[in-house]
Amino acid sequence: MSKSDFGLYGLAVMGQNLVLNVESRGFQVSVYNRTTSVTDDFIAAHPGKKLVGAHTVEDFVQSLARPRKIHIMVKSTAVKDTDRDAVDAVIEQLIPLLDEDDIIIDGGNSFYQATERRDAYLATKGLRFIGAGVSGGEEGARKGPSIMPGGPASTWEVMKPIFESIAAKVDGEPCVIHIGPGGAGHYVKMIHNGIEYGDMQLICEAYNIFKHAGFTTDEMAAIFNEWNDGELQSYLIQITGKALEQIDPETGHSVVELIVDKAGQKGTGQWTLLNAAENAVVISTINAAVEARILSSKKKERVLASKELRGPAPTGALTMGDGITPWPKEILVQKVHDALYASKIISYAQGLDLIKTMSGKKNWDLDLGRIAAIWRGGCIIRARFLNFITDAYRSNPGLGNLMLDPYFKNILNGNQQSWREVVSLAMLNGIPVPAFSASLGYYDSYRAERLPANLLQAQRDFFGAHTYERVDKPEGEFFHTDWPEVIG
């Protein structure tokens, strides 16, 4: 039997689908799984394919052509660079069996600092390592994911033909590029997930407004389906429309309305928040989205509080500022659309700002426009509007905040009035819109020529003699006031 072009370790669903994808592009693939029966069942389920099932790691390694390319798809649990998990265990198993220049790819959702540690460690063993974020879920893995590989450029060149052939394609371009060195790939995947949290929460807030306005599930499905034909076109809007259409066969009720309102999460959103805090970058929309999931999970507390804490008097309809006049439905739909689009732009502006900041700090030299381009297909946040992000950085590689790109500036300026009205309307009616309002708060703070931080500086100087700069003196000169003494 000839040697295989690619090896995959870890045959859970994502691993299996990735194998079938690679095989379908003309490559021979060897597979290994700790539990041997999983390997046997997988091989038996796919007769006639160029697959080699191995029962031992030794046989698996020996079945591969050199330089060997071993893609690990096992569950990663490390949340600190010092944690050791299944990825490390598998790497330790492989090291003594590999030869110089063989390549290990970690395709799981690993924490980027763990990836950096593994990259440095494997280099001391004469082995090459790629930490690749893979997005798109089970279907993406089978048909074409968005792949975010990090590692040395020379290693990427070896992997490029396989990665480009298995990745999703948009306008003929594969949704994979060499992201950058070391942990850059897994880092960008982490931010992708943070942005995904933001997108999902914003859509949920739009739905919640419609629900409070008395729209039926069918009406809401129709709105999202229609939005999917316009500038909000995206996978998440599309599946929202489809989800709202789904009827439970047993009860005849909407499936969405039968689902308990407690959100789960696997942690990448929280990692994104921690990283933003470490780098002093504001990602308030993503922050609000992560926190909204946390609050949703405290269902028992919320049920209790709903009986204790007062909201506005119910009017039965979503009313305008006077508390009497309901908004005409078509107008509400358009305004929520505009608020959603503006908030989405803020969320991406924040996520990209974080990537840019880390890129500078780590000397990764990341290309934000090309990163946005590989998110156009295969992954969960795929959307038409990513083209405009790519265009924005293509025409101005030094672009500061995305909001200042002419296209996005135009949308924000056009939508900001509706956005305010929707946020105010929601607040007056007691409908939580943490991500819509955090986005608007960011927008208004960012565009404020003068913020109340002058008073804040006065307070700091008052209690801690931290000094301040003056508007009427040159920048960099610091002053202190002898504030009066406060007793008690």
Report the interface residues with ligand 2AM, using CB under 6 A: 10-12, 33-35, 38, 74-75, 86, 89-90
- From 189, 335, 344, 356, active-site residue: 189
Task: Provide the total of helices (H) and of strands (E) in the chain, helices listed first.
Answer: 20, 9
Q: Name residues whose C-beta falls within 8 Å of residue 175's C-beta, 6 or more positions apart in sequence.
A: 144, 145, 146, 147, 167, 168, 169, 373, 374, 375, 376, 377, 378, 379
**Crossing angle (nearest 10°) for helices 153-166 and 13-24:** 80
CB-closest chain residue to ligand 2AM: 34
Q: Which is nearer to ligand 2AM, 4 or 33 (CB)?
A: 33
CB of 109 to ligand 2AM, least distance (A): 12
Residue 189 bears catalytic tag: yes
Specify the amino acid at residue 196.
E
Catalytic residue among 23, 116, 196, 205: 196
Do 392 and 405 touch, CB atoms closer than 8 A?
Answer: yes
Give the chain's length.
488
Phi, psi of 303 (to 5 degrees): -60, -40
Active site residue 138: no
| 445 CB burial (10 A radius; 0-12, 13-18, 19+) | exposed
11 or 282: whose CB is closer to ligand 2AM?
11
For ligand 2AM, the closer CB: 13 or 295: 13
* Least distance from ligand 2AM to the Cβ atom of residue 34, Å: 3
Shortest approach of ligand 2AM to residue 70 CB, angstroms?
13
Q: Are 477 and 469 in contact (CB under 8 A)?
A: yes
Instruction: Between 46 and 384, name the residue whose CB sits nearer to ligand 2AM.
Output: 46
Residue closer to ligand 2AM, measured from CB, 37 or 124: 37
* Least gap, CB of 85 to ligand 2AM (angstroms): 8
Q: Report, in Å, the least distance between residue 74 CB and ligand 2AM.
A: 3
Q: Which is nearer to ligand 2AM, 19 or 431 (CB)?
A: 19
Whether residue 132 contacts residue 148, with contact meaning beta carbons closer than 8 Å, is answered with yes
Question: Distance of CA 258 to CAs 197, 244, 248, 410, Å?
Answer: 22, 11, 8, 40
128: nearest Cα among 100, 91, 167: 100
Sheet holding 146-150, edge to edge: 51-54, 29-32, 6-9, 69-72, 103-106, 128-135, 146-150
> Residue 40 CB, nearest distance to ligand 2AM (Å)?
12
CA distance 416 to 401: 17
Catalytic residue positions? 189, 196
